[in-house]
Amino acid sequence: MDTFKFPIRFRNREIEKIVDNTDDYYAHLLALSMQVIPGELPLNPDFGIEDPTFDDSLTRDLAFTAGAFIPEIIIDSAEIALNEGGQVKVNIAFSRRNQ
């Protein structure tokens, strides 16, 4: 099922969507899973990861944990990068399981 892009954006007066079963779709799910703290979603209180702020090694480990919520993909690598503004970015490479 296609999903809304978050943050919500509009194009041609319609909410932008991400097409189901695409790399963009799974990248979006990974990003969301790393922004949700366990217990925030009442329908699935186990979904999400603890905030890894200020701990680079924990962030990398949590990227692999986030991948466990999306069985259609395999996390190949997760690397930490610091941008020019000093923000920590997590770069995650994944591959799709046999389709």
Structural domain range at position 26: 3-96
What does the alpha-carbon distance between residue 59 and residue 35 come to, in Å, rounded to a whole number?
12
Angle at 59 between CA 56 and CA 63, to 5 degrees: 145
- CATH number for 40: 3.10.450
- Residues of the chain with pLDDT > 70: what percent? 77
Beta-sheet pairing, 17-18 with 3-4 = antiparallel
Of the candidates 5, 22, 37, the one whose C-alpha atom is nearest the C-alpha of residue 72 is 22
Over residues 57-84, the pLDDT tens digits come to: 666 666 667 767 788 888 888 887 778 8
What does the alpha-carbon distance between residue 25 and residue 10 come to, in Å, rounded to a whole number?
17
Can you read off the two tokens belonging to residue 19? 């097409």
Provide the number of structural domains found in the chain: 1
